[in-house]
Amino acid sequence: MSLLSIPIELHLEVASYCKNEDLGHLIRTHSLLNMRLQNELHKRALSWRPEGLLHDKDDGYGGLARPLDENEGATLEYALVYKRHHLVDYLLRHNIAGIEGNGNWSALQWATKWAPFDVMNKLFEYAINGPTPLNTDQVTRILGIYLDRVPQKLDELPEPKCGHGDWCECGWAVSEEELQVFRILLLLGADPMGASAIVLDPEYNPPTAVPFTFRARNGDILRLLAEAGADIHWQPPQTTTQIMHSTHGKRLTTVLYTACFDPEFPSSVVLELLKRGADPNCQGPAIPHAERVLPLFETMIQITHPKKSEHLLDYGVDINTREEGGEYTEWDSHGNFPIHQGIELTKDYAGTWARVISRTPDLEVRNYDGETALQAAISCGSLQSCGSLRYARLLIEAGADVNVRDQDGRGLLRLPFHMSEADGMSGRNYFLAERMHFLANYGLETQNLDLIPTEEALEYASHLWDKSCACSASESGFKLLYQFELYWKVLMNVLDALERVPDRGGTEGRWFRDELESAYSTRNAVAEMRKTRERIGERYAELPYRSEDGVDSTHWLPQQWDAERQKAWWIRDD
């Protein structure tokens, strides 16, 4: 029997046994069935709910993966969450959107969490051309939610695979589709300034509404907010107490300052702010007893990203301003200049070093401890991963005074190290040996005999030699003797340098050669070092700061020393 021949009232009975997909096929087989059953399919579309509803499915933002009520728009929201995109199309075509009378549209918020971009665009198109204007307060809230999601939270990012290095900013990249979402939300009336309340210690600090610019973690997103009218120069109100940034415990001042100290902001945000006229010397609102807050110091102290400090320097930050607050207040109220702060940076900050040095009018200006930048760099124990000797090289090349004396009259060779004893004897000896190599090389290059550490090298080497001989049969004796190799290489470097300065170093050179031979007897010292290596055996390769060529350097020719000096790690910028 044909379905068309049975009574009409039975058609609905038959349809009730059909799944939605089967009913759709049935309707399409005949125009009469379409007329009779289309209304039934429409009712099903309006009341659709997923089977086995996952009431406890977390959406990743503290909510559930389902609408929280059963309003008219709930079906559209379910369709978005469960990716029934054909149903989304159908509901929008039939104006079943669920926009409330006050303009609230919860489906739009669900879409920004769950829907792909093509589906979001359909909702945006409907909102732009729809019969009811959206509530701009709700659209603003959605913009704030999207700011927290895009770019993706850094602690949720997978390991970078781009191969761009440690300072790569690919994690902050946004797609054109994501930028389009921001454009449309702003077009729909979202307030580009927005506001999110930060309350810290409410007994002392009033709640402060912080603009969306403080949450824009991408330069292009910040640009869209600024083009829509966001004020990048916003500052918190003046209060009798400091308003603190709730996340990082920093004083709330300007978005530029925040972007400089906060590692969650890429350098592109700093650059965009500066392009739009942000003051690189901003210090925030005046409040009693406020520390002097300069973004440049934050980028150098926090070591957030090399490009941040470079951008500030390129846009005219005041290089002649001291840091008056921070950790140095207890000792001296004068603080550091940027040229002193550069000592703490790594080799990745070579661009910052070059800019700071070239723009500092007085390289001999003193820091809070009474040191010049060169003195502080020479005093700072530095491994190859750090930058103090590289920085010292740049300072000397720029004209820093190598004959400078500290408050106690000590020259560069006699400066103490600013490093903890916890680093151990091996570490301290390594740093001292590297400093002596550094100064000996520059003494030879500039023919400055005062920089060649004749007395200092003999003094430290003798100290280790005597201690190692006193306990030569013990494990500590082995370690002391291999540390002596560090200074043996220094002694050989000094010896070569003295041979190549005028009159072979004169009286100083003759004294050094006599002391070297009488103290050690070259043949005996080399024999003892080789014997120690044999005793230690395979363990030698595991010892820190060992000198692989300390013994071999005894017989190096001048050409070999020249090659060695050119490959010193503080010479290379890589």
- Please tell me the distance from the alpha carbon of residue 211 to that of residue 218, in angstroms, as a whole number: 15
Q: What is the reported pLDDT for 131?
A: 82
In this structure, is residue 26 part of a structural domain?
yes
Backbone angles phi, psi at 295, to 5 degrees: -55, -35
C-alpha closest to that of 242 among 254, 256, 252: 252
Q: Print the SS3 string covering 209-272.
A: EECHHHHCCCHHHHHHHHHCCCCCCCCCCCCCCCCECCCCCCECCCHHHHHHHCCCCCHHHHHH
Indicate if 414 and 483 belong to the same structural domain. Answer: no
- Please tell me the distance from the alpha carbon of residue 259 to that of residue 304, in angstroms, as a whole number: 10
C-alpha closest to that of 363 among 327, 404, 317: 404
Indicate if 548 and 449 belong to the same structural domain. Answer: yes
Indicate if 347 and 449 belong to the same structural domain. Answer: no
Indicate if 471 and 514 belong to the same structural domain. Answer: yes
Question: Mean pLDDT lowest for which of 212-226, 234-248, 387-401?
Answer: 234-248
- Please tell me the distance from the alpha carbon of residue 231 to that of residue 235, in angstroms, as a whole number: 10
- Can you name the residues that pair with 251 across neighbouring β-strands? 244
| Torsion sign, CA atoms 295, 298, 300, 302 | negative
Q: What is the reported pLDDT for 332?
A: 44
Mean pLDDT of 474-485: 67
In this structure, is residue 561 part of a structural domain?
yes
User: By three-state DSSP, how is residue 410 classified?
Assistant: coil
Question: Mean pLDDT lowest for which of 246-255, 301-310, 349-358?
Answer: 246-255
Q: What is the reported pLDDT for 178?
A: 94
Indicate if 485 and 387 belong to the same structural domain. Answer: no
372: Cβ contacts below 8 Å, ≥ 6 apart: 363, 364, 365, 366, 400, 401, 404
Residue with the bigger pLDDT between 551 and 107: it is: 107
- Please tell me the distance from the alpha carbon of residue 242 to that of residue 252, in angstroms, as a whole number: 8
| Highest mean pLDDT (candidates 5-14, 127-136, 480-489) | 127-136
Q: What is the reported pLDDT for 292?
A: 60
In this structure, is residue 519 part of a structural domain?
yes
Q: What is the reported pLDDT for 420?
A: 44
Q: What is the reported pLDDT for 128?
A: 92
C-alpha closest to that of 357 among 371, 340, 369, 344: 340
Mean pLDDT of 94-108: 88
The number of distinct structural domains making up the chain is 3
Residue 518 domain boundaries: 440-566
Mean pLDDT of 435-442: 94
Structure confidence at residue 30 as a pLDDT band (50, 70, 90): low
| Highest mean pLDDT (candidates 61-70, 142-151, 207-216, 460-469) | 142-151
Tokens read off for 114? 């769950």
Residue with the bigger pLDDT between 176 and 474: it is: 176
Residue with the bigger pLDDT between 136 and 55: it is: 136
Is pLDDT above 70 for 17? Answer: no
Indicate if 356 and 445 belong to the same structural domain. Answer: no
| Torsion sign, CA atoms 203, 205, 210, 215 | negative
Q: Average pLDDT, whole number, for the chain?
A: 78
Q: What is the CATH number of the domain that holds 325?
A: 1.25.40.20
Is pLDDT above 70 for 404? Answer: yes
Can you give the pTM of this predicted structure?
Answer: 0.79
Q: What is the reported pLDDT for 348?
A: 86
Q: What is the reported pLDDT for 213?
A: 93
CB environment 280-293: b (16+ within 10 A), e (fewer): bebbbbeeeeebeb
DSSP 197: E
Structure confidence at residue 207 as a pLDDT band (50, 70, 90): low
In this structure, is residue 277 part of a structural domain?
no
Q: What is the reported pLDDT for 523?
A: 63
In this structure, is residue 494 part of a structural domain?
yes
pLDDT tens profile 367-389: 888 899 999 999 886 555 456 88
In this structure, is residue 131 part of a structural domain?
no
Indicate if 466 and 559 belong to the same structural domain. Answer: yes
Q: What is the reported pLDDT for 275?
A: 97
Indicate if 390 and 454 belong to the same structural domain. Answer: no
C-alpha closest to that of 269 among 300, 298, 232, 302: 232
Mean pLDDT of 250-256: 80
- Please tell me the distance from the alpha carbon of residue 457 to that of residue 162, in angstroms, as a whole number: 46
In this structure, is residue 435 part of a structural domain?
no
Q: How wide is the angle at C-alpha 152 spanned by C-alphas 150 and 153, nearest 5°?
A: 120
Indicate if 339 and 414 belong to the same structural domain. Answer: yes
- Can you name the residues that pair with 221 across neighbouring β-strands? none
HSE-CB at 65 with a 13 A cutoff on CA atoms is 16
232: Cβ contacts below 8 Å, ≥ 6 apart: 213, 222, 226, 255, 256, 273, 276, 277, 278
| Torsion sign, CA atoms 119, 122, 126, 129 | positive
CA dihedral 183, 185, 190, 192 (to 10 degrees): -30
Is pLDDT above 50 for 280? Answer: yes
In this structure, is residue 202 part of a structural domain?
no
93: Cβ contacts below 8 Å, ≥ 6 apart: none
Structure confidence at residue 286 as a pLDDT band (50, 70, 90): low
Mean pLDDT of 104-115: 87
313: Cβ contacts below 8 Å, ≥ 6 apart: 296, 319, 352, 355, 356, 359
Residue with the bigger pLDDT between 250 and 149: it is: 149
Backbone angles phi, psi at 39, to 5 degrees: -65, -35
Is pLDDT above 80 for 141? Answer: yes
Q: What is the reported pLDDT for 553?
A: 80
Mean pLDDT of 206-229: 90
